[in-house]
């Protein structure tokens, strides 16, 4: 234990003495959180985002469906749709072509009758030129059609139009908003750009802190100081433990400084669940030092290690949305396979006060990833610190 | 009993045999010079002795303990001065010694005393709180040595400790080696500078292609080549005919020619000097200077391998 203590102390002293440690691990994350948090705050300003109603042209060819179709023009729908009536399909299509309206709906003849009898009944939908408007209109109209389908299903199942009407009344009673905007944590709260980048930058620079353990191993091998250590009565497991613990402690210290500083000076709320916050930090640090040991085992040269190290850290941060939150569905899906994603989501959910189940789920995934990486690192550790 | 015993030791890197069935004993209190050209297997041999490399075959013992079976115990008895300057830019001289001293189990007052002694020994007491970045090459080499002796080991292994330093620092290091030996340490000193090995070693082993090709005291080794002296003659107007006639002389073993400088290897140079001068005069070759070089380990190595040590 004394030898490991000596090696930990040695590692800490070397890191503290290196000028780049402060700049890279403490100053840079705080600076980036400040810059990105302020420069990209527009992405997160939900209050300022206004959605204009889509102009929808409506043609009702079935008088019995006039009331149902009229629901599109109700006050409830006015937030999303601005309905204009047209006497026939052709005029509505002309208006759609001219850009007077953004979307078109035709209620065909005998529609109500078909619904009541349970036979096939559809509205004709005419998308316009703007994809966003089309999505908006389809979402709202889709919700209304769902209710109609419900009535139709009830008619088929219950066998009588009266029962279907009764079911329809029930369906209307339970129907809520047609379109609902929710924040990503499902808690109903939004986060600020500073919070978002505080979480992501903390994770990115924790990866740096952990991965510096691997860099230290590879540098000592290249400068032959590792030989010198092994010339003393020291086991490889001592060296590995010293490196991991030394850099792990630096990572924990770095986390504390970033959290306290961003809380005090940037007003970043990290939530009040300190145990979970500590667990998220420890899992992230453990995962990053484990990853460092794995890379050190596979890349024995400093330059190769640095290249892999940079690519991995930047790549994971990018895919997890650490640089910009809007990546597109494919990249976002890829991001879910990164350590950075689960670590940063943990911090974000803790900041937002998300439900315990959500926090637990994210912590479990992060913990499992961390344990898996730690296991691999333990298997490859001897190779990583080997000096032959 | 010998302090270091190697028995039929083999080390391979892939298909290349770096150390080939090496058998060697090094006695207590010796300064043992291990001589050989670059790539001969010297560093591999000493790395196996101090447990940094495992041998593929054979047995190595230090102070009666097997390196393979008791590596930590063996390592605590050895101090190694590596060929490369292996120091940390972030640590001061005294912090280096504290770190390595602690790795060897030293603590408290004993550690502090050993640090002071080691710094005084290498002449860095006044620079104890400075980092290696502020040191000259020679001072770095001296700190490199101090790190290896802070725990006062029985066996000190020095792997080419004078590479790339000025003559003054070299002399300081060589004098340090003698002093460490006087204080009771056994030294293994590897170098491809035969002058250094000749100057300090009590016994010498010459290694080439991983094999020990000569072993003994300097005197014993030089008796093998005592008859080989070298006349170095700087000439003007040297002709091929003159060189050929010198080569045909019965006492001449080998002739080297570089521009106008002639190197003539021959037995008993003093006796045949007249003959050489006569031949050159006959071919109207003028002599600018002349000196007689006595045989040394370089000559021995050349005789044994047909190559120069620094090839």
For A63-97, write each residue's pLDDT tens digit: 888 877 888 888 777 777 888 899 888 999 899 88
Q: A112 and A248: one domain?
A: no
At residue A329, the pLDDT reads 77
Structure token digits, residue B162: 């004078």
Distance CA B289, CA B292 (A): 11
Q: A69 and A154: one domain?
A: yes
Q: Is the dihedral of CA A83, A84, A87, A88 positive or negative?
A: negative
Whether A195 maps to a domain, the answer reads yes
Partner B contacted by A382 (CB < 8 A): no
For residues A347 and A177, which has the higher predicted lDDT (pLDDT)? A347
Residue B311 has pLDDT above 60, yes or no: no
At residue A188, the pLDDT reads 46
Residue B239 has pLDDT above 70, yes or no: yes
Q: How many structural domains comprise chain A?
A: 2
Most confident listed range (A10-14, A99-103, B109-113)? B109-113
Q: A268 and A121: one domain?
A: no
What is the average per-residue pLDDT within B136-142? 89
Cβ contact B114:B145 at 8 Å = no
For residues A114 and B68, which has the higher predicted lDDT (pLDDT)? B68
Most confident listed range (A167-176, A248-257, B111-120)? B111-120
Distance CA A127, CA A134 (A): 6
- Strand pairing report for B211-216 and B203-208: antiparallel
Choosing from A133, A148, A174, the residue where a domain stops is A174
At residue A1, the pLDDT reads 79
Domains of chain B plus CATH, in order, are: 4-217 (3.40.50.300), 229-294 (3.30.70.100)
Whether A183 maps to a domain, the answer reads no
Residue B67 has pLDDT above 90, yes or no: yes
Whether A285 maps to a domain, the answer reads yes
Q: A298 and A218: one domain?
A: yes
pLDDT in tens, A208-245: 888 888 889 999 988 889 999 999 999 989 999 999 89
At residue A151, the pLDDT reads 66
Residue A315 has pLDDT above 70, yes or no: yes
For residues B107 and A182, which has the higher predicted lDDT (pLDDT)? B107
Q: How confident is the model at residue A152 (pLDDT cuts 50, 70, 90)?
A: low
Out of B52, B79, B90, closest to residue A230 by CB = B52
pLDDT in tens, B204-215: 999 989 999 999
Cβ contact B209:B306 at 8 Å = no
CB contact under 8 A, A224 and B86: yes
What percentage of chain A exceeds 90 in pLDDT?
A: 25
Question: Which residue is associated with the tokens 């930090």?
Answer: A281
Q: A166 and A262: one domain?
A: no
Nearest residue on chain A to B88, judged by CA atoms? Answer: A225
CB contact under 8 A, A225 and B88: yes
Supply the mean pLDDT for chain A: 82
Q: A224 and A353: one domain?
A: yes
Mean pLDDT lowest among A114-118, A157-161, B138-142, B285-289: A157-161
Q: A262 and A325: one domain?
A: yes
Partner B contacted by A230 (CB < 8 A): yes
Residue B18 has pLDDT above 90, yes or no: yes
Cβ contact A343:A206 at 8 Å = yes
Phi-psi region of B211 (alpha: psi -120 to 50; beta: other; left: phi over 0): beta
Q: How confident is the model at residue B8 (pLDDT cuts 50, 70, 90)?
A: very high
Distance CA B13, CA B41 (A): 11
Nearest residue on chain A to B49, judged by CA atoms? Answer: A231
At residue B178, the pLDDT reads 93
Give the E-state strand segments of A94-224 in sequence order: 103-107, 124-127
Q: A165 and A296: one domain?
A: no
Structure token digits, residue B182: 């006087």
Partner B contacted by A223 (CB < 8 A): yes
Nearest CA-CA distance, residue B266 and chain A, Å:
45
Q: How confident is the model at residue A162 (pLDDT cuts 50, 70, 90)?
A: low
Per the structure, the complete domain to which residue A170 belongs is given by 51-174
Choosing from A106, A141, A174, the residue where a domain stops is A174
ipTM of this predicted complex? 0.80
Q: How confident is the model at residue B73 (pLDDT cuts 50, 70, 90)?
A: very high
For residues A295 and A150, which has the higher predicted lDDT (pLDDT)? A295
At residue A301, the pLDDT reads 87
Task: Give the CATH number of the domain where residue A126 resides.
Answer: 3.40.190
At residue B47, the pLDDT reads 92
Rg (C-alpha) for chain A, rounded Å, is 30
Whether A181 maps to a domain, the answer reads no
The pTM (predicted TM-score) of the whole model is: 0.70
Task: Encode B36-60: b = buried (16+ Cβ within 10 Å), e = exposed.
Answer: bbeebbbbbbbbbbbbbbebeebeb
Whether A182 maps to a domain, the answer reads no
Nearest CA-CA distance, residue B110 and chain A, Å:
16
Q: A155 and A287: one domain?
A: no
pLDDT in tens, B164-205: 788 888 888 899 899 999 999 999 998 878 888 888 999 999
Whether A27 maps to a domain, the answer reads yes
Whether A184 maps to a domain, the answer reads no
Residue A45 has pLDDT above 70, yes or no: no
Residue B249 has pLDDT above 80, yes or no: yes
Whether A180 maps to a domain, the answer reads no
- Cβ partners under 8 Å of residue A233, min gap 6: A3, B71, B72, B73, B75, B76, B103, B104, B105
Q: A366 and A222: one domain?
A: yes
Nearest CA-CA distance, residue A16 and chain B, Å:
9
Choosing from A131, A148, A174, the residue where a domain stops is A174
What is the average per-residue pLDDT within A343-372? 90
Element (H, E) at B159: strand B155-159
CB contact under 8 A, A18 and B90: yes
Q: A41 and A116: one domain?
A: no
Distance CA B206, CA B201 (A): 12
Q: Which residues pair with B230 in a beta bridge?
A: B265, B293
At residue B11, the pLDDT reads 95
Phi then psi for B13, rounded to 5 degrees? -115, 100
What percentage of chain B exceeds 70 in pLDDT?
A: 98
Residue A304 has pLDDT above 80, yes or no: yes
Q: A35 and A18: one domain?
A: yes
How far is Cα of residue B136 from the mean position of the Cα atoms in its chain?
Answer: 23
Helix (H, G, I), strand (E, B) or coil at A129: coil
């Amino acid at each position: 234990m004394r030898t490991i203590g000596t090696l930990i102390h040695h590692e800490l002293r070397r890191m503290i003495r290196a000028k780049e440690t402060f700049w890279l691990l403490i100053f840079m994350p705080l600076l980036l959180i400040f810059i990105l948090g302020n420069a990209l705050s527009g992405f997160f300003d939900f209050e300022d985002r206004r959605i204009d109603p889509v102009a929808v042209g409506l043609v009702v060819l079935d008088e019995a469906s006039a009331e149902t179709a009229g629901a599109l023009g109700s006050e409830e729908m006015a937030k999303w749709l601005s309905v204009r009536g047209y006497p026939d399909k052709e005029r509505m299509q002309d208006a759609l072509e001219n850009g007077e309206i953004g979307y078109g709906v035709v209620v065909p003849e005998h529609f109500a009758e078909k619904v009541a009898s349970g036979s096939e009944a559809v509205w004709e939908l005419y998308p316009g030129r703007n994809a966003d408007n089309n999505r908006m209109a389809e979402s709202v109209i889709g919700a209304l059609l769902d209710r109609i389908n419900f009535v139709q299903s009830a008619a088929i199942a219950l066998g009588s139009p009266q029962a279907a009407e009764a079911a329809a009344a029930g369906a209307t009673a339970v129907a809520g908003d047609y379109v609902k905007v929710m924040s990503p944590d499902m808690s109903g709260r939004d986060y600020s750009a500073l919070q978002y980048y505080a979480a992501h930058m903390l994770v990115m620079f924790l990866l740096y802190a952990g991965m510096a353990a691997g860099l230290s191993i590879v540098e000592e091998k290249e400068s032959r100081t590792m030989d010198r250590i092994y010339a003393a009565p020291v086991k490889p497991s001592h060296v590995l433990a010293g490196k991991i613990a030394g850099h792990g402690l630096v990572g924990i210290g770095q986390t504390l400084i970033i959290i306290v500083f961003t809380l005090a000076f940037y007003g970043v709320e990290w939530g009040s669940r300190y145990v979970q916050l500590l667990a998220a930090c420890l899992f992230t640090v453990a995962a990053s030092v484990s990853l460092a040991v794995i890379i050190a085992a596979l890349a024995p040269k400093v330059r190769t290690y640095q290249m892999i190290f940079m690519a991995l850290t930047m790549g994971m941060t990018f895919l997890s949305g650490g640089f910009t939150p809007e990546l597109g569905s494919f990249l976002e899906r890829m991001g879910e396979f990164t350590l950075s994603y689960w670590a940063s989501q943990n911090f974000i959910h803790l900041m937002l006060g998300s439900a315990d189940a959500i926090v637990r789920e994210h912590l479990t995934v992060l913990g499992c990833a961390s344990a898996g990486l730690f296991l691999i690192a333990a298997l490859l550790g001897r190779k990583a610190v080997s000096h032959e | 009993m010998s302090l270091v015993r190697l028995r039929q030791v083999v080390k391979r890197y892939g298909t290349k045999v770096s150390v080939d069935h090496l058998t060697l004993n090094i006695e207590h209190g010796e300064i043992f010079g291990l001589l050989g050209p670059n790539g001969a297997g010297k560093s591999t041999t000493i790395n196996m002795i101090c447990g940094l490399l495992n041998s593929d075959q054979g047995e190595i013992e230090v102070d009666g303990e097997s390196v393979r079976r008791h590596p930590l115990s063996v390592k605590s008895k050895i101090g190694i001065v590596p060929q490369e300057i292996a120091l940390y830019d972030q640590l001061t001289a005294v912090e280096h010694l504290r770190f390595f001293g602690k790795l060897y189990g030293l603590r408290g007052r004993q550690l502090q005393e050993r640090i002071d002694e080691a710094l005084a020994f290498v002449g860095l007491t006044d620079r104890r709180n400075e980092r290696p970045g502020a040191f000259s090459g020679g001072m770095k080499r001296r700190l490199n040595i101090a790190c290896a002796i802070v725990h006062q080991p029985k066996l000190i292994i020095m792997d080419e400790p004078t590479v790339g330093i000025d003559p003054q620092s070299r002399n300081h290091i060589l004098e340090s080696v003698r002093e460490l030996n006087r204080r009771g340490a056994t030294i293994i000193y590897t170098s491809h500078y035969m002058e250094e090995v000749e100057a300090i070693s009590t016994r010498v082993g010459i290694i080439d292609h991983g094999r020990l090709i000569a072993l003994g005291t300097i005197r014993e080794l030089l008796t093998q080549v005592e008859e080989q002296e070298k006349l170095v003659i700087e000439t003007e107007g040297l002709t091929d005919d003159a060189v050929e006639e010198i080569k045909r002389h019965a006492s001449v073993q080998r002739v080297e020619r570089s521009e106008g400088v002639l190197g003539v290897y021959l037995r008993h140079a003093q006796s045949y000097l007249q003959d050489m001068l006569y031949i050159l005069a006959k071919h109207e070759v003028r002599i600018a200077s002349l000196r007689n070089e006595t045989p040394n380990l370089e000559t021995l190595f050349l005789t044994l391998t047909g190559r120069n040590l620094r090839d």
